[in-house]
Copies of this chain bind each other. A is one copy, B any other.
Amino acid sequence: MTDLIKMGKGAKLASRELAKLTTDQKNAALHTIADELEANAEAVLAQNALDIEDGKKNGLTTGLLDRLLLTKERVSKLAADCRAVATLPDPVGSAIDSRSLPNGLQITRRRVPIGVLGVIYEARPNVTIDIATLTLKTGNAAILRGGKETLRSNLALVNVIQAALEKCGIPEAAVQYIDNPDRALVSQFMKLDEYVDMLIPRGGAGLHKLCREQATIPVITGGIGICHVFVDETADFDDALNIIENAKVQRPSVCNALDTVLIHKNVADTFIPKVAERMATNSVSLRADPQSLSVLDQNGHSAAYQAAGPDDFSTEWMDLILGLKVVDTIDEAITHIQDHSLDHSDSIVTNNWQNATQFVDEVNSSAVFVNASTRFNDGGQFGLGAEVAVSTQKLHARGPMGLEELTTYKWVVLGNGQIRP
């Protein structure tokens, strides 16, 4: 029987040992995990084959089956990823800042591991390795709960990880997996605040809402965005078209993909037919507000379009659909974004200094872009080397979370007998 309390206690004890490890020790463990993954690839693939078989029986889509599938090459890629995490700089132990007080006390804010991280994630076995390696690198213990469709694959991967940890003298409880797919355990897991310091749900809006409502552990929510590009009257049209195409089409199912284009009224007549053509060549269908609809109606082009419904500008499309709306002023554009954005990624295309500045100052998303694609809001693209999640909340971390965001700090105060006056 799955005993979450026991897992929590084990993770907490393990986290004390993990916090003492040097970077060399942690990197050695990452290399051992990589080696063990390659040495035990057959066993992992055998378990994955059973998951795939059940997935087919249960009618999973081709897309989901592909996300679930492991191959010899994919396992090698996971091993390579472990070794890549070993090359990243370790934030633990560094000083955020330091000062000397008038009474002689030396104060430093030192980065330390958070402790125990809980992660709930989708049915992708590669995430098990991603999260386990990033939490290990930062000296945190992890309790994982992946999608039930990958249960056997994940258990096989966690077995490999735990065997590698044991070889390195690191407690197995540093990486634990909730091996029971019962959903009731998720609710129980969210309330383990005595043992778990941070909960990261990766998944849809439903999971995030559940975490906000039920979790007693501090939660990092994110990964959901309604993203905008505002085409200002001074925009370079080629830049605007390229940015819109990239943001909408490159990977429509992700959270930094474009959902709505706002167009300044002074360029509506000239720009809308161009964007309609460009979207038509990419099989994107348009949802137009009355003003852009009237421009579309007046121009011959091959775009699929229809009038926007009442909720269309509050929808994260995750698909080849794009909202179009004409605005009278930059202020109207900003207000529309403030009212509809989920604080993820928003961009302005402009050559006007004042408007660019106003947009950056007043749009308060996790990432605000000038003349660039919203698709850049990503840990890898921002040069963080890794990404655990994209946060759209205000506390602790915003936007892509890298290794540093898996740490906290403590105040280290060194004295020679000082007492408070």
Contacts and interface: CB of A to CB of B under 8 A. Distances in A.
B413 A370 contact: yes
Contacts of A219: 218
Contacts of A338: 16
Nearest to A378: B420
Nearest to A213: B216
Interface string A399-421: 11000000011111111111110
Contacts of A236: 417
A282 to B, nearest CB: 13
Most buried by B among A213, A361, A383, A417: A417
Interface residues of A, number: 70
Contacts of A246: 419-420
A205 B89 CA distance: 38
A378 B420 CA distance: 10
Interface stretch (A67-75, A99-107, A161-169): A99-107
Given A20-B362, A218-B394, A242-B417, A412 B112 contact: no
A365 interface: yes
Given A114-B395, A394-B408, A420 B376 contact: yes
A198 B417 CA distance: 37
Nearest to A391: B408
20 contacts: A19-B364, A101-B381, A105-B376, A107-B382, A115-B364, A218-B218, A218-B219, A238-B417, A242-B419, A243-B419, A360-B412, A364-B410, A367-B412, A369-B413, A376-B413, A377-B413, A394-B408, A398-B409, A398-B411, A400-B411
